[in-house]
Structure 1
Amino acid sequence: MRTSKTDFIQFLHCPKSLWLLKHKPDKYPHGEFSDYAKKIAEEGYEVEEQAQALVGAQSDATAFSFQNEFITARGLYARADIIRKNADGTINIYEVKSSTSVKRDAKHDQIKDATFQKIVAEETGLQVAKVYIVHLNKEYVRDGTVDPKQLLVFADVTDEVNGLIGETSSQIDDALDLLSRPEIDEGSCSCISLTKSNHCDTFEYFNQCIPAPSIYDLPRITRAKVSAFTQMGRFSLDEIELDEVTEKQSFVLKSAQSRAPVIERAALSKFFSQAEYPIYFLDYETYSSAIPIVDGARPQAPIPFQYSLHIKRTPNDTQLVHVEYLAEEAAMPLQLIEHMEAHIGEIGSVVSWHASFENTQNKSMADLYPRKSDFLFGLIRRTLDLEDIFKDGYVDIAFGGSTSIKKVLPVLAPDLDYANMAVSNGTEAMESWVRLINLPDSPEKDKLRKDMLEYCKLDTYAMVRIFEEIERKT
């Protein structure tokens, strides 16, 4: 049985998940490769091309080779993005990443990744002298043709890798031992002691006894708290006392135990008292890419290319004004800013969902265009975050412990639905924009434009509906 680097990383996250994939693939909830994961994979290939172009232009270019495969006698498999054969017979390994730094977090441990590569290469009889992570330079700003020398950083991680050889070798042995077993206890997996965002794809398969809702629906619950509850076999929220959770978590707990929304009218009144008419419901769509697509852009830095704006002029206004903008060529967002200036007045609140995202874009655009900073920082000062209401003002266990608009909307405005839209999420909007700016004028382009505008329009109209629904409850 072949065990790849990807398999090993999956083992580190959840050993039983990997076992199920290898031994009972028909039981494994494969699902579709997420749009975002596809985007990351494609960008990895683009960065590899830049790295290959860079080393290919060096005086020692013939020493480099690409996509070298290593297969050991016990079935370990690795493929190095780039290797260099050194004069003394050793090799250097270069792992190319589309990130703007070397990642060392548990979910994206690139050092552990590289350590696996070295171990496998050396088991085939090679000697690895140096290990590098090739990543993007976050300070690079495109100016004309992409310059690989300025775009890429070659980070020497040899010492870190060497420091993990013993630990990683032991973990590889454990992985191979597990995979050699024809049967395992399928009653639970190690993710049972982790928070929801860290659960494996097979969590429901291995942990069928978990009730819904459960302790995993408590917002920002710590791993230590999850571990404590699970060791006592307490998964149902009916088994948890209010003095065992934080104040924010208590709202979700109360809702679960009462089977009803928890409404804090004082918090709602405070929010709505800050709302000044006219109210501008604003949402941006942004594009980021490993290789900057336009002059002035940095690697992986978001570029706002679209916005939707619903304007509610008075509390009783039922004839909303809708304004929209969609860039139809690759460009920095100056025209978008000027379009907003023409439609957002000097008074009135700006309402967004998870407003830190919109405000981060406003700050970034103010840095790019200092003469627009008064307008953009004005937007920031006037912004209210509609998501805040659902943290302590209106909490319903039907939201699944989440404050995402995609969780809140079906409960409060079930007639509005993203499910059947041609463009239905931010990643699809990004991919659609790239298609749009490269398509010639045609019915296909017209339809794509319409689909993109409809998606962004729903984002802001959804905010209006939610705002109005909660306002009625104050």
Structure 2
Amino acid sequence: MLHVSDLVHAEKCEAYAWNCAHRKLPFQSYYHMDVPFSALWKQYLGYQTYGEGHVGQTNSDTLSLLKKYDVVYQARFEYRGLRTKIPVLIRKDQGWLALYPHLSAYPKEEEARFMKLNDQAAASIGVTICDHEILYLNKDYVRQDELDLSQCFLRSKQLFNHRNHLNKTIQECIDETELDLDEWIDKTKPILEGERPEIKRTKACTSGRRCVYYSYCFDESKEPDDSVLFLTTSQYKLDAYEKGIRHIKDMPIDQLEGFRLQYSQYMASRNGGQFADRNAIQSWLSHIQYPISYLDFEWDTFAIPPYRGMRPFDVLCFQYSLHIEEKDKPLRHEDFFESGDCREAFVKSLIEKIPASGTILVYNMEGAEKLRLTQLAEQFPQYAEKLKTICGRMVDLSKPFEAGLLYDNRMRGHYSLKSILPVFSDQYSYQELPVSDGMDAVQAYREFANADPEKQTKIREAIRTYCSLDTLAEYIVYHGLLDLNKEEN
């Protein structure tokens, strides 16, 4: 039995499709959904009488539903062993309107391809799809005390282009789409039914976000720390690796694009493991002022705004960790963790605990902590000035590494805080923690509200321990940079 996702996966990468079919990984939703999305769009549509398809139903079952009801949810179709479903079918004079709810604010024109596939599958049993619509989330909707689905959802007969503008109609996109469904099925079936396909490393394996099956396909644990595979933004590294070049220092000079990061990696490979532009590091360090605050947030993303003042896809900060370093005083730690609508409590606690002066060091802050505070300032304008002041004192601790001021081969081409910490200390590790990364923290937070008191205590401590290690790591990294410059002097 094939599913549409199998076709898409096989087109992307044969090995990926095979892995998805034979080596399923645990699914963890990126979005926090207190209520299933399907329940919300059904409530929005408001139909009291409807039929609904279920897993395992046949074409005959679907035809029976379509004969009995004017509205059918999750209508199942099968074509040559390919299983697919249309979320909503609404009877019209000329056939059926296919409505596609999307947990997105910008369903793209590429979706027309799957709609055309569904049209063909439906047509194979005599069901005519005469029209198409999308249902999507209104990014400009701001929730009040109650969730207003009539404002939260929007409907359209158009799809969004890559600039996030409604452009062509769905029918225009479908008409422009070339699709040979039989050929697609014939190509995909042997991939899933056979042995694991030949593994070939390509740019697609790591472009954007690294493939979740990358470590299953390629064991890089035995590669040298300065492997050419770890060379940042290089279009030549895979060819070099295929030719037997293993170390960055052995890359032909004319195959280095000249980016600052590449230069630091190349010099580290040549110079025994580390490159440091000490003058540039000293210049960066000179802007840091005491007291130094080391700050880190944890948050969850809600597709549907759960509380007043929030928009679709807004985040809710539920944890912060703050280490404070004052001259000639012991390092001290403050933190915050709550569930529910803890936004204002989070803001008030942060304003109270963080020193009124000095530098606030945050790792990779622009798309994270700084953005979170900007959003909170919009939701709680009474604190906007104080939050703006905090943002103005933030300094991004990741910059010396992202700019290539310091590179150590042990980083192996990675620049996350977890990758950099071992360069400066081997006394701390995330690996043994019950919550060891951001997604673990999010999952634990999602379980917190419904857990019993004993379990809540364990979750709270696990999240606090993880987050506090992040800010302690910031302290260690900052002092590692200081020590590096002291050695030179």
Identify whether the pair has TM-score above 0.5, normalized to the shorter chain. yes
In 1, Cα distance between equivalents of 2:188 and 2:349: 59
Alignment partner of 2:439 out of 392, 414, 427: 427
The answer to whether structure 1 residue 338 and structure 2 residue 343 are counterparts is no
In 1, Cα distance between equivalents of 2:35 and 2:405: 46
The answer to whether structure 1 residue 68 and structure 2 residue 79 are counterparts is no
Distance 1:282 1:67, change over 3 A: same
In 1, Cα distance between equivalents of 2:385 and 2:87: 46
Counterpart in 2 of 1:98? 103
Map 1:24-423 → 2, pairs under 5 A? 25=22, 28=23, 30=24, 32-35=25-28, 38-40=29-31, 43=33, 46-57=36-47, 63-72=70-79, 74-88=80-94, 90-103=95-108, 110-156=111-157, 157=159, 158-159=170-171, 161-166=173-178, 168-169=179-180, 173-174=183-184, 176-180=186-190, 186-189=197-200, 191-192=202-203, 195-197=206-208, 200-201=211-212, 203=214, 214-221=227-234, 237-243=248-254, 244-245=256-257, 246-314=259-327, 317=329, 319-331=330-342, 333-356=343-366, 357-391=368-402, 392-423=404-435
The answer to whether structure 1 residue 452 and structure 2 residue 451 are counterparts is no
* 1:278-310 deviation per Cα after TM superposition (whole angstroms, max 9, x unaligned): 000011111221122222221111122221100
The answer to whether structure 1 residue 7 and structure 2 residue 20 are counterparts is no
Q: Secondary structure at the match of 1:180?
A: helix
Q: TM-score, normalised by structure 2?
A: 0.81
In 2, Cα distance between equivalents of 1:85 and 1:189: 48
Q: Is the 8 A contact 1:94 1:132 kept in 2?
A: yes
* Aligned residue pairs, count: 450
Q: Mind listing any 5+ residue stretches in structure 2 that lack a counterpart?
A: 52-68, 160-169
Distance 1:320 1:208, change over 3 A: closer
Letter in 2 for 1:326: F
Q: Mind listing any 5+ residue stretches in structure 1 that lack a counterpart?
A: none
Q: Is the 8 A contact 1:432 1:448 kept in 2?
A: yes
* 1:16-70 deviation per Cα after TM superposition (whole angstroms, max 9, x unaligned): 4325656xx3xx5x4x3253xx345x74972211111122348999522111111
In 2, Cα distance between equivalents of 1:438 and 1:19: 37
Q: TM-score, normalised by structure 1?
A: 0.84
Letter in 2 for 1:63: D
In 2, Cα distance between equivalents of 1:133 and 1:154: 6
Distance 1:240 1:453, change over 3 A: same
Distance 1:306 1:194, change over 3 A: closer
Alignment partner of 2:473 out of 450, 462, 471: 462
Q: Secondary structure at the match of 1:298?
A: coil
In 1, Cα distance between equivalents of 2:152 and 2:266: 49
In 1, Cα distance between equivalents of 2:266 and 2:89: 54
In 2, Cα distance between equivalents of 1:308 and 1:208: 35
CA-atom RMSD in angstroms:
3.2
Q: Secondary structure at the match of 1:277?
A: coil
Stretch moving more, 260-269 or 243-252: 243-252
Letter in 2 for 1:33: P
Deviation of 1:349 (Å)? 0.1
- Relative to its length, the structure with more helix (as a share) is 1
Q: Is the 8 A contact 1:115 1:164 kept in 2?
A: no
In 2, Cα distance between equivalents of 1:468 and 1:16: 44
In 2, Cα distance between equivalents of 1:419 and 1:353: 20
Q: Is the 8 A contact 2:302 2:316 kept in 1?
A: no
Percent pairwise identity: 19
Letter in 1 for 2:14: P
Distance 1:257 1:364, change over 3 A: same
In 2, Cα distance between equivalents of 1:439 and 1:17: 36
Distance 1:259 1:65, change over 3 A: farther
Counterpart in 1 of 2:56? none
Q: Is the 8 A contact 2:103 2:303 kept in 1?
A: yes
Counterpart in 2 of 1:443? 454
Q: Secondary structure at the match of 1:12?
A: helix
In 1, Cα distance between equivalents of 2:277 and 2:185: 50
Deviation of 1:361 (Å)? 1.1
Letter in 2 for 1:303: L
In 2, Cα distance between equivalents of 1:220 and 1:148: 44
Q: Is the 8 A contact 1:82 1:93 kept in 2?
A: yes
In 2, Cα distance between equivalents of 1:124 and 1:159: 21
* 1:160-189 deviation per Cα after TM superposition (whole angstroms, max 9, x unaligned): 5414531x326x614523533776895443
Distance 1:339 1:271, change over 3 A: same
Distance 1:464 1:227, change over 3 A: closer
